Structure 1
Amino acid sequence: MSKMPGRPVLTVPEAEALALELFGAAGTAAPLPSDRDLNFRLTLTDGSRAVFKIFNTIEDEAYLECQSDAMDWAAKAGLPVPKVIGRATAKLNGKNHLVRLVSWLDGTPLGDASPITAQMEFDLGALLGRMDRAMEGFEHPAAPNHFPWDFANVADTVSKHIHAIPEARKPLVEMGLNLYQEHVAPKWDVLPKAIIHNDANDYNVLVGSAQEYPRPITGLLDFGDLVHSARVGNPAVAATYLALHREDPVDALCQVIKGYTSIFELSELELEVFYSLVCIRLSVSVTMSAVQRALEPDNEYLSISEKGAWTTLEKLQHQHPRLVHYRLRDAAGYAPVPNSTFVVDWIQSHKDDFHPVILPARPGAPPVVFDFSVSSQEFDSEAINTPGVADKEIWDRTGNAVGIGRWDEPRLAYGGDQYATQSGERRTIHLGVDLFRPARTPVQAPLSGTVHSFCAHHARFDYGGCLILEHEPEKGLRFWTLYGHLSHDSVKNLVVGKSVEAGDVIAYLGPFEENGGWVPHLHFQIIVDRLDLEATFPGVASPSQRDVWCSLSPSPVDMLGIPQSAVAPRSPHVQDLLERRNRS
């Protein structure tokens, strides 16, 4: 027996009889899952199928008409959504229930598809972009704004029911709540609003046969959560449930945004709240699952996403919100790190003012640029971290000059476990410039600043001695420079906050035994946003996030006063190659 207030109770034979009575629809009924109504798949005598829906008594007739009108509007725009075939009212157990007969859409629920590919995530984003573009002119006086799953009300919903969450797990729920209060609530009134579907979860989306490639999105079901709310909520909800299927949940968010923005623009303001909306949706999901499960412990549908939602919250607690934001901006086609351009422009305009960081043994000796890339004909993949392999070649070619390892270079030299990412992709893109000189060579500050943080790292393939300087050459312009592979003695006596001037000796290069296990050199890197890290920062990025990390750590070539050949050339993207081939 249902304990959900207002939910109708009906056996299969009773449902078949009611469908025949109300709509003349003779057929065989089979129950379908629902969180608050009663749904049946009705197979009619002619072989066609429909959905027979008996609504909860709490449903408002005007709101159901709003849903029906929205479905009709979307269908007329060519979107793959159900159509309302019939409307009626039925009295069950002394209570009136609104009833609808809705067309059936063929397909497999996206949540049951395996694998869910990046293309499917992109295509769902594109479908929602088409929907939001098509619905721009749709208005209805009954579109609600009081729904508990509406992003306008989710903070209140979570706060009201968080008592249902076990104490050990409350911090995960509060993470979403805190992000919402910090990033969404202050901006809510100025976010673009529209009537949105609001529930493109993985079981409301249908896909085609597994034999089709790419496997298409064939339908969007259930307009029962339709609201007038922030338009960005539509792709945010879809991204939330796709994230449940990813080792790196943010990858799913990026693919949905790429698809959505291929059709319909997301503003920078909407991107600022996107991640927080995803997190609060997960918080609402687990909270409401706990509440509803207490009412109906035998209804498995109520907990269909709960386990995945908890797992995803656990993964997201290790993500830095600003880094996620930069990845989302990149996916939408914006500059990943907004203030990176200002730092780059300032450095370029002052490129003649910086002091050399590493001096050659012979004054004026031009630097020697090396190729350590995956396609290098000069060195094999492990050359710079195996003693005796590259040392002689590097020092013979460098002579009295400074050897250069390039920025933005894809390398295979990074074999440690610390270079594996959450998704399994390895980090291979070099984010700094390497300056090769023998151990104990002095390192000098290129411009004035203060000691921000330092550490002697001991793990193999790490930085060894590492120093970060903070620079604020103009009010409102702040960035950092990182110096890696230093001797341990170099960083022992440093003092946080100590001022340094351009040309000051700040450290010395470390030997192989102290610098993380590399041929002696300085790893020099510019950092636009430290992501709250102290005495370290990723010096290598994964290829899929290359543009994001190159925006966080832009080219230091101008600051170092070295040739532009120290920037590794990028191989043409596959799509670029195809377009060139088609034009030829």
Structure 2
Amino acid sequence: MTTSEFKNVQGIAAIEALLAAEYGIAGEILALPGEHDLNFRIQASDGRAFLLKLHALGAPEELDMQIAVLDHLAREATELPVAKVLPSRSGASFTRVEFNGERVARLLTWLPGETWARAANRSSNSVETLGALLGKLDRSLAGFSHPGARREYAWDIARAEMHLANVDLIEGMEKRRAVRAILEHFVSTVLPRLKACPRQVIHNDANDYNVLVGADGCVSGLLDFGDMVESNRVVEVAVASAYALIGSPDPIGAIARLAGGYHGVNPLGETEAELIFDLVRTRYAVSMCMAARQIRDNPENTYLLVSQEDVWRELRRLEQENRPLAIARLRDACGFAPIPKAARVVRWLESNAHEFSGVIKPGIARPKPAVFDFSANSSETWAGLDKDVAQARIEAHIHAEGADFGLGLYGEDRAVYKGDAYQATTSLRRTIHLGIDLFAPANEPVHAPFAGKVAFYHDDAVPYGFGPTILLEHRTGEGDAFWTLYGHLSRESASRLSIGQPVARGEAFAAMGNRAENGGWVPHLHFQIVTDYLGLEGRMHGVGVKEQWQVWREISPDPSVVLGLSVPASVIVERDKAFLVRERQRRIGRSLSIAYGSAPLKIVAGEGAYLIDDEGTRWLDMVNNVCHVGHCHPRVVKAAQMQMARLNTNSRYLHDSLVEYSRRLAALFPDPLNVCFFVNSGSEANDLAIRLARAYTGNRDVITVDHAYHGHLTSLIDVSPYKFAGKGGEGRPAHVRVAEMPDLYRGRYRYGDTDVGRKYAEDVKRQIDALAAEGRKPALFFSEGILGTGGQLVLPEGYLRGAYAHVRAAGGLCLADEVQVGFGRVGSHMWAHETQGVVPDIVTMGKPIGNGHPMAAVVTTEAIAAAFANGMEYFNTFGGNPVSAEIGLAVLDIIRDERLMHHCAVVGNRLMDGARELASRHTIIGDVRGYGLFNGIELVRDRDTLEPAAAELDFVIAEMKDRHRILLSSEGPQHNVLKIKPPAPFSADDCDRFLEALDAVLAQVKAA
């Protein structure tokens, strides 16, 4: 009896009775497909949905296994989107029922989503999330075992050798030949390696009807554990890949994304990664054998014939893939080096480069090349150019430069190639140049850079007419083989060579071909390093696929190391955002966050208050106080370029710029702040400040303000409650005391209290008294002039004056952290602490000091500096170098000449007045605060309870970015403060644009 037979009234009535009797459920019943089991969707009258399965009685162990595994996952992996078993009224996981024979009934929770086969929104995310789901599943199943899984199962491709007996049942000689070759390769090559791979129970059937996809295109569920088996873990990846690649324009790319998703949560071994490609082919071969046997037993089943044509189509596509390249791509997807020996080959080349001979013109010690940009985005057009004109242009350029030869670069994107209308029509077209082109006259001798032997010869006369290519084989000291490739050679010179012929270092073994034997193009040598010739021998590719560049650059590394030219001979290949995110996570560390992580920006340029992405979109930057005088300010750029061209060295040598900059910087502070120390970051500056304070006071304890952040060094994490009291933090260190955050909006003392500054400062005294009770004194009190991570909080009047008095009375020093707020940003003063009418003992600066250049400074008194000179030399290699000094001077000049402090005051007032006007119409705005262009807009759900509107702020930030191209971020302990700190050139028009956009977005929030 099939599921469809239950569509009759009698069948539905029987199921209704079952549901009522065993589960107390009534509702609509919908029959679903099923090969062996009867499946029904139950839409209960109370709105809940369920899956009813009526299992055919088979091996009892297998059914028990399906029950046991869901029980296991319900205990061990509650977060996995798999069905949960619902017990009957008697508490049983299943019940025996009579439906034209005995069956076993189970009721399961319903999983939302559309099946993969029917989902219209499948994407690369679908494949990656499927891999991640299977990785989590198998990780959860690693400790699960069941007798029912230890079966000789025909769909276990780890036992694929059993299907050799069925190959002759397949119709069509081509199909039989292909399947037999795959299975024999499995037995001889794959199986011996597979046996060493991890084994466990796996799902084994993530097909396109068992995988559910949600509205966002990500996998939302996994169905049907009936094909579970104890097998090799990597089989899970192969089975899922066989379905996931169907219809993909890049089958290996689909497999790689799935394997990468799996590996990210359940790491595969190198052998497993290398076997995936062959195991996917094996899965298709097994499927064809199984179908052939079923068709023999049930010749009327025409559906099997149709489905096997789909399998054959996908298998043929895989058979057309280059196997070594596919394995390299899958190794890369799992975090392994695509070509294991490539790094060793490059290291050998770099270590021995001093012994290499020149490839052309070896008699010239340092030959001078003229560089040509043949890339598709070159400012000079080469595509479609008449070859005579192109040759004349190249020859004229080489002559004008007084060069010894011309140079075409490694890594160029030649999507439109040199007059041959070589168009890149798909994302998989090979367009990235893998070698370096050396342009010289025809018959110019070509020399071997180091000893080797002739390995491969290929004449590319048809279809391209590009002449012969020779590969020489070489060996590193560790015995790794690699090759150098020489293309577009003279046919006469190449014909004299024989395979295996030794070639000595510096030997002129061939010559460049002329135009007639080089496709009509200008005579040149294509020189390339090859670590794996991919089975192509002399037909080795000279261009690679851009989207696979991380693999191709290991197949053919940068040959600059061999040529040793006086100019760069390679370029960085630009990659898409998805690749950059993956590489950042792999190479840089996942703890380094990415702005707008769900939709990150690839920023390639900046101008004033704007950032420009890779598509040319201009983004109004309202959070980057680092580029204080504007992104890429021409005066800063020029100062850096000019000084870099003259000298950059450490500060041990005398240099006018360093002394002049220290004079100019110290002049911005009142006496006695007149001694400067130069470092490279705000973190370094604050760390040095702690050392200065401890040297001067003899004390060690530090007082900081709650939720403050002062830097990423260990010493500064210790004094940053934002870090040590947050996720991953280790709590307050014993030498640190935390003062209450003076929050006028939601703190203990608020707006309207005329004595609020003194009251908050009293808590600093309480921290000092607590130290005194333990016989200790403070060394240093840390505070910003406006509290950034605290939520852009303006300090209450008199707060620093009172706090400083308490600290100094106890023998401590007072520090003003101006890393975020200094250099005129507050508008009324050069430094934020000046708004409090105080003079600190130490001031630290960073971020805006160099407009993005890594520099920072500490300014203190002569007495404190003298106490630090205790015999231990202080030295900072890069702090105060001439380039940094010139950049610092340029920033000060621009602040002065462009009246940026006054500009910050005017535009900042305009912004806050506008924001307060919005607050009169949008009650979600609870507070508007700040000085100049350092502002905070706090969002609340209720102005009386001050309930934070953090989720609403997330929506505001996303809408401002996605709809209005304005970049903002959040701040504050509740993450509900809109942080505003744009580059100082932020204009009145920019301000009005922001206010208009914010008004519109807040209206959306209100409407929602």
Q: Secondary structure at the match of 1:352?
A: helix
The residue type paired with residue 74 of structure 1 is: L
Q: Distance in 2 between matches of 1:473 and 1:406?
A: 26
CA drift of 1:68 comes to 2.2
Q: Secondary structure at the match of 1:324?
A: helix
Alignment partner, residue 36 of structure 2: 36
The residue type paired with residue 369 of structure 1 is: V
Q: Secondary structure at the match of 2:146?
A: coil
Q: Secondary structure at the match of 1:410?
A: coil
Kindly tell me: are residues 509 and 387 of structure 1, through their superposed partners in 2, closer, same or farther at Cα, counting changes over 3 Å?
A: same
Q: Secondary structure at the match of 2:340?
A: coil
Kindly tell me: are residues 83 and 305 of structure 1, through their superposed partners in 2, closer, same or farther at Cα, counting changes over 3 Å?
A: farther
Q: Where in structure 2 are the equivalents of 1:287-306 lying within 5 Å? A: 287-296=289-298, 305-306=307-308
CA drift of 1:193 comes to 1.7
Alignment partner, residue 166 of structure 1: 171
Q: Distance in 2 between matches of 1:563 and 1:96?
A: 83
Q: Where in structure 2 are the equivalents of 1:280-359 lying within 5 Å? A: 280-296=282-298, 305-359=307-361
CA drift of 1:554 comes to 1.1
Kindly tell me: are residues 571 and 505 of structure 1, through their superposed partners in 2, closer, same or farther at Cα, counting changes over 3 Å?
A: same
- Encode CA deviations 1:478-529: one digit per residue, 9 max, x unaligned: 1111111112222233222222212222221112221134322100011111
The residue type paired with residue 250 of structure 2 is: D
Q: Distance in 1 between matches of 2:315 and 2:424?
A: 21
- Encode CA deviations 1:32-61: one digit per residue, 9 max, x unaligned: 222333333344455544333232332x23
In structure 2, which of residues 222, 227, 230 is the aligned counterpart of residue 228 of structure 1? Answer: 230
Q: Distance in 1 between matches of 2:302 and 2:71?
A: 31
Alignment partner, residue 79 of structure 2: 78
2:441 is aligned with 1:438? yes
Q: Distance in 1 between matches of 2:11 and 2:304?
A: 22
Q: Distance in 1 between matches of 2:408 and 2:470?
A: 19
The residue type paired with residue 477 of structure 1 is: D
2:257 is aligned with 1:255? yes
Moved more, 516-525 or 457-466: 457-466
2:96 is aligned with 1:89? yes
Moved more, 570-579 or 239-248: 570-579
Q: Distance in 2 between matches of 1:180 and 1:384?
A: 51
Contact 2:486 2:525 in 1 (8 A): yes
Q: Distance in 1 between matches of 2:187 and 2:394?
A: 54
The residue type paired with residue 63 of structure 2 is: L
Q: Secondary structure at the match of 1:146?
A: coil
CA drift of 1:572 comes to 7.0
Moved more, 324-333 or 396-405: 396-405
Moved more, 240-249 or 11-20: 11-20
Q: Secondary structure at the match of 2:50?
A: strand
The residue type paired with residue 228 of structure 2 is: L
The residue type paired with residue 239 of structure 1 is: S
Contact 1:172 1:313 in 2 (8 A): no
Q: Secondary structure at the match of 1:228?
A: strand
2:212 is aligned with 1:206? yes
- Encode CA deviations 1:286-337: one digit per residue, 9 max, x unaligned: 2223333444567677567533221111111122322111000111121110
Q: Secondary structure at the match of 1:308?
A: helix
Kindly tell me: are residues 365 and 270 of structure 1, through their superposed partners in 2, closer, same or farther at Cα, counting changes over 3 Å?
A: closer
Kindly tell me: are residues 290 and 563 of structure 1, through their superposed partners in 2, closer, same or farther at Cα, counting changes over 3 Å?
A: farther
Kindly tell me: are residues 38 and 299 of structure 1, through their superposed partners in 2, closer, same or farther at Cα, counting changes over 3 Å?
A: farther
Alignment partner, residue 367 of structure 1: 369
Alignment partner, residue 241 of structure 1: 243
Kindly tell me: are residues 361 and 191 of structure 1, through their superposed partners in 2, closer, same or farther at Cα, counting changes over 3 Å?
A: closer
- Encode CA deviations 1:184-231: one digit per residue, 9 max, x unaligned: 31023321122211111111111123xxxx422221111111112211
The residue type paired with residue 114 of structure 2 is: T
TM-score by length of 1: 0.89
Moved more, 564-573 or 181-190: 564-573
Contact 2:369 2:567 in 1 (8 A): no
Alignment partner, residue 388 of structure 1: 389
Q: Distance in 2 between matches of 1:294 and 1:150?
A: 21
2:488 is aligned with 1:482? no
Greater Rg by CA: 2
2:202 is aligned with 1:196? yes
Moved more, 381-390 or 312-321: 381-390
Q: Where in structure 2 are the equivalents of 1:462-477 lying within 5 Å? A: 463-472=466-475, 474=477, 476-477=479-480
Aligned-pair identity in percent equals 36
Q: Secondary structure at the match of 1:497?
A: coil
State how many pairs are aligned.
571
The residue type paired with residue 80 of structure 1 is: P
Kindly tell me: are residues 290 and 414 of structure 1, through their superposed partners in 2, closer, same or farther at Cα, counting changes over 3 Å?
A: farther
Q: Distance in 2 between matches of 1:301 and 1:109?
A: 20
Q: Secondary structure at the match of 2:389?
A: coil
Moved more, 465-474 or 532-541: 465-474
2:309 is aligned with 1:273? no
Q: Distance in 2 between matches of 1:91 and 1:189?
A: 44
In structure 2, which of residues 114, 123, 126 is the aligned counterpart of residue 120 of structure 1? Answer: 126
Q: Distance in 1 between matches of 2:64 and 2:113?
A: 26
Q: Secondary structure at the match of 2:571?
A: coil
Contact 1:145 1:229 in 2 (8 A): no
Alignment partner, residue 15 of structure 2: 19
2:61 is aligned with 1:56? no
Moved more, 40-49 or 126-135: 40-49
Moved more, 553-562 or 399-408: 399-408
Q: Which gives a bigger RCO, structure 1 or 2 (Cα 8 Å, sep 6+)?
A: 1
Contact 1:485 1:521 in 2 (8 A): yes
Q: Where in structure 2 are the equivalents of 1:420-439 lying within 5 Å? A: 424-439=427-442
Alignment partner, residue 65 of structure 2: 66
Q: Distance in 2 between matches of 1:166 and 1:303?
A: 10
Contact 1:361 1:400 in 2 (8 A): no
Contact 2:436 2:526 in 1 (8 A): yes
Superposed CA RMSD: 3.0
2:135 is aligned with 1:136? no
Q: Distance in 1 between matches of 2:570 and 2:422?
A: 25
Q: Distance in 2 between matches of 1:31 and 1:57?
A: 20
Contact 1:468 1:481 in 2 (8 A): yes
In structure 2, which of residues 401, 405, 408 is the aligned counterpart of residue 402 of structure 1? Answer: 405
Q: Distance in 2 between matches of 1:282 and 1:67?
A: 25
CA drift of 1:98 comes to 2.6
Contact 1:90 1:99 in 2 (8 A): yes
| Structure 2 unmatched ranges of 5 or more | 89-93, 582-593, 595-599, 604-622, 627-1008
The residue type paired with residue 90 of structure 1 is: V
Q: Distance in 2 between matches of 1:516 and 1:77?
A: 64
Alignment partner, residue 800 of structure 2: none
Q: Where in structure 2 are the equivalents of 1:179-194 lying within 5 Å? A: 179-194=185-200
CA drift of 1:384 comes to 8.3
Q: Secondary structure at the match of 1:279?
A: helix
Q: Distance in 1 between matches of 2:110 and 2:306?
A: 22
Contact 1:89 1:97 in 2 (8 A): yes
Kindly tell me: are residues 398 and 70 of structure 1, through their superposed partners in 2, closer, same or farther at Cα, counting changes over 3 Å?
A: farther
Q: Secondary structure at the match of 2:266?
A: coil
Alignment partner, residue 105 of structure 1: 111
The residue type paired with residue 507 of structure 1 is: A
Q: Secondary structure at the match of 2:505?
A: coil
The residue type paired with residue 78 of structure 2 is: A
2:455 is aligned with 1:452? yes
CA drift of 1:363 comes to 6.1
